[in-house]
Amino acid sequence: MVVLGGVSGIQIQGWDLRFRRNLFDREVTNLSQLLLLLERVALPVVLEDRRAWLPDGNEVFSCKSAFWRLSYAQLGSVREWGKSLWKSVSPSRVKLFGWLVFNDKLNVHDNVQRRRPYHCLSPAWCVCCKEAGESTSHLFLECHFSREVWGKVLAEFGILWCMPSNYSQLFLTKLGGGKRVSRLWQTTVLATFWALWLERNNRLFEDISNSVETIWDKIKFWVATWVYRNKFFEGVPFSDLIRDWGNF
């Protein structure tokens, strides 16, 4: 907001939008619509503009408030999975990857096409099944290849139920058996997402395919490696973590 000099000493308010780059032709219409909206905004007192970070009570940016905003708050709702995700025993890169999955921010075909609406991206199908378009929900929950992998996971935990349609709901599923089983389950969910994503990239960029059994062996090894020596698994031999989870 700037103040422009007017006749007879009257001050006129005007909006000075300083863009860091020149606008594209397709953005000019959006700018016109924005200016029309701003014309209806009347400020009673003209004050100097200042930056205010609303997630913090002091209106000053802090890493703590930014972390809370990104992890737990979205449109006023609390993300229940945030705290469990960052406290999991998975490697940092896997936790970050899980955050992208839960927020649907991965560079799958649907998301890339949405960002580039004027380009036709090909191939549009899922490289794991070649039967449907690639989206985050399809790749990790709906693809028949992914379902075969999840079948191995569910059989290992001795459970039989329909797969949830939401990633965070799957991650926060309570199986019973205490904190050890809960920690093992959440780690397995992240490891499965990670394995499916790596398999997708291998097929797409390297033209290399692995079987469901091979991927399942990788998942079990990763989970055993990540939870080994965790306080909930003290005294459990590494060989038992790889071989059989039914006793946990």
Residues 206 and 101 in one domain: yes
Residues 230 and 168 in one domain: yes
Structural domains in the chain (count): 3
- Residue 124 lies inside a defined structural domain of this protein: yes
Residues 186 and 94 in one domain: yes
Residues 72 and 96 in one domain: no
pLDDT tens digits, residue range 226-244?
998 888 888 888 888 887 7
Q: What domain range includes position 129?
A: 85-243
Residues 164 and 227 in one domain: yes
Element (H, E) at 2: strand 2-5
Closest CA to 154 of 198, 218, 211, 216: 216
List for the chain the helix, strand, coil content (%; round to 5).
50, 5, 40
Residues 150 and 113 in one domain: yes
Contact between residue 124 and residue 109 where contact means Cβ atoms under 8 Å apart = yes
- Residue 217 lies inside a defined structural domain of this protein: yes
Residues 142 and 215 in one domain: yes
| Sequence-distant (≥ 6) Cβ neighbours of residue 236 within 8 angstroms | 228, 248
pLDDT tens digits, residue range 104-161?
999 998 888 888 877 777 777 899 998 889 999 999 999 999 999 999 999 998 888 7
What predicted TM-score, i.e. pTM, was given to this entire model?
0.70
- Residue 248 lies inside a defined structural domain of this protein: no
- Residue 25 lies inside a defined structural domain of this protein: yes
Residues 75 and 89 in one domain: no
